[in-house]
Structure 1
Amino acid sequence: MPTQIGYGYVKGATEITKFIDLPIPEPGPNQLLLKIEAAGLCLSDPHTIIGGPLAPKPPKPMPTKFVMGHEIAGSVYRIGKDLEDKPQFKPGSRFALQINQACGACEFCRRGDDGNCSESSQAYGLNEDGGFQQFLLIKNLRTLLPIPDNVSFAEAAVCTDSVLTPFHAIQKVRDRIKPSSKVLVQGCGGLGLNAIQILKQYQCHIVATDLKPDIEKVAKSYGAHEFYTNLNDSKHEPMSFDVIFDFVGIQESIDISNKYIKRRGTLSQTGLGRYKFKMPNFTFAFREVEVFYNFGGSSAEQLECLQWIAKGWIKPNVQLVDFEKLPQAMQDLTNNKIRGRVVFRPNKL
């Protein structure tokens, strides 16, 4: 059987593991083999190495080894015999993948919220084989989302998380965002920069913060009206922001939100910088602050994100890195040396 190269999780390892003899599977009758054209790197990847994979739904056991990479785009390489009469799956067709393996039949899936599927907790690259390899067997065809012609594989790959997650977070509170709204975006990494571009379409006043001063130029080019490395050094008054998006998720960012959110303001919490932190329960209560937590998004939202990219409303900040440099890129990401989103091309060794 032919083999391929990949990178992934091995229980007990302290860094990502290189696999040099992964078998290239043959698709079954209703399956297809996807040639990986782009796979994005995310902070969830080093988090997986440190904290372990996403827990599967029992009785499925916790995996001890799998290929990582959850931001995936590719082209159909080979199809099973039962797909030969389905032109949408012909070889060469371009798809991005929905990360979670939604069932399509549960209560949440049937109402369009398949990002919260209650019957499956399987996710590409987070607890089963993902995109840090050259070919991926697709068993669940509903995870395949077509890529518009004028969207690149790299853009489509990061769209599955880096664009989808802030898009989902913003859609949940969009009725609170008006042209007169003052909105704070904390953290201008991959998600935050895309959030700024999305928020620009709502014509609100956007204030961005990040500890890295060199991010200011790109943040403003994407639509931020103001940028600060420390909001406390600005002229903004406490309790003056209508909506705050926290893409950092540490105690310090929570403290900033507590200081600057208005009465009856909205806090959208997305960043996963820490596993735990303390929320200011009493002050949020008497100010009637609404807090929303976010994780990923639905397939319908992902398709919409791809259309936004196709229209030029979102231009993901991506940099292509050689696949064999993946371990170093992950280390650089952990050490805060990465700007924007890193994307690998596994079939371009």
Structure 2
Amino acid sequence: MSIPKTQFGYGYDKRYKTIQKFDDIPIPSVGANELLLKVEAAGLCLSDPHTLIGGPIELKPPLKTSDKFIMGHEIAGSVCKLGSELSKQQDSKFKIGSRFALQINFCCGDCEMCRKGLDGACTTTSQCYGLNEDGGFQQYLLVKNLRTLLPIPDNVSFEDAAVCTDSVLTPFHAIQKVKHKIQPTSKILVQGCGGLGLNAIQILKNYNCHLVATDLKPDIKSTALKYGANEFYNDLSKSNHEPQSFDIIFDFVGIQPTVDISNKYLKKRGTLSMIGLGKFKLVMPNYLFALREIEVFYNFGGNSIEQIECMKWISKGLIKPDVTIVDFKKLPQALEDLVNDKVRGRVVFRPNKL
């Protein structure tokens, strides 16, 4: 496989609030126990503009957070070069052409959380592809932490595998926390039908509950219903649903109005699952939630075993991510469209198909 000496990509530069194009990036040399991944698909996420505005996730000492790095945390690709030690391992799963999706965070495998199987909450490292370390908005990515490589099933595309790393994994992780509460008679509200919310609907429909979806965008209705929602509303107050009538509410928006809606419509001993990061701070109705014994869960990402399971669901046709492929050279415009609420589903780039 012919590998160029340089590449281009897009990323964070502390001096700017917009994404920057980096030209003539040297293709990194590969260490003995490292590999080079040819990036076949990289997804665009609202966390990308959040990173540009608010800065990267802070690295734990002794590592220093970089002032400049390649962004893109939803990544899938194929192995194009092996380190000298890896190439000697004949029975290794790491071979030229092997297909992998990346776990976003660099898990150590040794801390308490990792040993419990909760490697998405690793306490040793805070390194994350595209959020404070070089990510997938480039053609080739050096992978130093081999634990982050998760095999893609043969019948799952690179594009679906890439968005699975966050857009599918995050709602899947949130649902796993409360799935024991979901019955066929449960009434569940999904607030926000963007990339994550639509995937949540597809996951939840497998539990045979009654699903109500809401979103301010009227054009998203047909997709939400197609993916499994029983009802869709732009304004829940104009429906026939009574206050305090929902068992579980998933908030994929995370702004004060959606918290207020949850307060209005959650029944006693109901459950609120917070996923959306629309605002840095929210006011929770402490007394009213206490009076009704509302259970509140916060969520961020997921674990590697859940990500592998998500890819199995995609392989079996239980989830079909809503993916739109956009020319890699048009990434800055796609990012602007996402910020301006012009994107539906998930945008994916193919950096090596120029």
User: 1:129: which partner in 2?
Assistant: 134
2:326 aligned partner, one-letter code: V
The alpha-carbon deviation at position 21 of structure 1 amounts to 1.3
TM-score (norm 1): 0.99
Alpha-carbon separation, structure 2, partners of 1:332 and 1:343? 13
1:287 aligned partner, one-letter code: R
Alpha-carbon separation, structure 1, partners of 2:270 and 2:353? 48
Residue 84 of structure 2 is aligned to residue 72 of structure 1: no
The alpha-carbon deviation at position 61 of structure 1 amounts to 1.6
User: 1:294: which partner in 2?
Assistant: 299
Map 1:120-199; keep pairs closer than 5 Å: 120-199=125-204
Helix, strand or coil at the partner of 2:253: coil
Which stretches of structure 1, 4 residues or more, deviate above 6 A after TM superposition? none
Helix, strand or coil at the partner of 2:207: coil
User: 2:42: which partner in 1?
Assistant: 39
Residue 280 of structure 2 is aligned to residue 275 of structure 1: yes
2:53 aligned partner, one-letter code: I
Map 1:1-349; keep pairs closer than 5 Å: 2-84=5-87, 85=89, 86-349=91-354
Alpha-carbon separation, structure 1, partners of 2:145 and 2:191? 36
- Could you report, residue by residue, the CA deviation over 1:174-205 in whole angstroms, capped at 9, with x for unpaired residues? 01111000000000000000000000000000
Helix, strand or coil at the partner of 2:36: strand
Alpha-carbon separation, structure 1, partners of 2:140 and 2:146? 15
1:240 aligned partner, one-letter code: S
Alpha-carbon separation, structure 1, partners of 2:185 and 2:36? 49
Alpha-carbon separation, structure 2, partners of 1:191 and 1:244? 14
Structure 2 unpaired stretches of 5+: none
Structure 1 unpaired stretches of 5+: none
Helix, strand or coil at the partner of 1:60: coil
Helix, strand or coil at the partner of 1:201: helix
Helix, strand or coil at the partner of 1:173: helix
Alpha-carbon separation, structure 2, partners of 1:12 and 1:245? 36
1:58 aligned partner, one-letter code: P
The alpha-carbon deviation at position 14 of structure 1 amounts to 1.6
Alpha-carbon separation, structure 2, partners of 1:286 and 1:325? 51
- Could you report, residue by residue, the CA deviation over 1:7-39 in whole angstroms, capped at 9, with x for unpaired residues? 000002021000011110121110000000000
Helix, strand or coil at the partner of 1:175: helix
- Could you report, residue by residue, the CA deviation over 1:271-328 in whole angstroms, capped at 9, with x for unpaired residues? 0000011000000001000000000000000000000000000000000000000000
The alpha-carbon deviation at position 216 of structure 1 amounts to 0.4
Alpha-carbon separation, structure 1, partners of 2:151 and 2:75? 12
The alpha-carbon deviation at position 2 of structure 1 amounts to 1.2
2:255 aligned partner, one-letter code: I
2:240 aligned partner, one-letter code: K
Helix, strand or coil at the partner of 1:238: coil
Helix, strand or coil at the partner of 2:93: helix
- Superposed CA RMSD: 0.7
Alpha-carbon separation, structure 2, partners of 1:88 and 1:347? 23
Alpha-carbon separation, structure 1, partners of 2:107 and 2:237? 43
1:186 aligned partner, one-letter code: Q
